[in-house]
Amino acid sequence: MTDATTIALAKHFTAQAKKITLPEGTHVIDETVTVGVEGVVNKFADEMYVPTTSISLKSVLALTLQRAGFQREAIAGIIVEVMTAAINLDADGSEMLTETIKDIDAGMARVEKIAAALPLKARKGKTTSKVTVTSTEPAFA
């Protein structure tokens, strides 16, 4: 079996497995399954990205407070204040956001500027597949 076929089958069965709910317990399996696979697998080039979502908020806050010097306590108080406000937002945050949208837009512009200065990381290119999987015995659900 080629690597492309393995990837196509893994993607196909992962999607199918998400739709299945097994009852609790041990399920003994003893089957031989023959499959046919036909289609296309596309592998895209690796890409560079700014790893903002993989940065630990806790680490950022700890380092910020460590480097804040004499302003440490004031900044800690602000962090507690805004985290408390975020916890107390209504379900979608629309109440607070509609009141402060201009400040948020300005803040996000600053965050984007900061993020643009971060070092880039490489991530593997996406792999997509569009395949038809058929079985001779037993038939797939």
* For the chain, domain boundaries: 3-44+127-135, 51-121
Q: Which pLDDT does position 138 carry in this prediction?
A: 58
Q: One digit per residue, pLDDT tens: the chain, 141 residues?
A: 899 999 999 999 998 888 999 899 999 999 888 889 999 999 999 999 888 777 888 888 888 889 999 999 999 999 898 888 777 776 555 666 666 677 777 777 888 888 888 888 898 999 988 988 887 665 555
The answer to whether 31 and 135 have CB atoms below 8 angstroms apart is no
The pTM of the whole model exceeds 0.85: no
> Which pLDDT value is given to residue 118?
86
Report residue 125 CA to chain centroid gap.
15
- Residue 99 is predicted with a pLDDT of 66
Return the pLDDT at 84. Answer: 84
Which of 45, 12, 39 lies closest to 127, judged by CA? 45
Helix (H) or strand (E) holding 123: strand 121-123
The continuous run of DSSP H or E covering 116 comes out as helix 94-116
* Cα–Cα distance, 137 to 30 (Å, whole number): 13
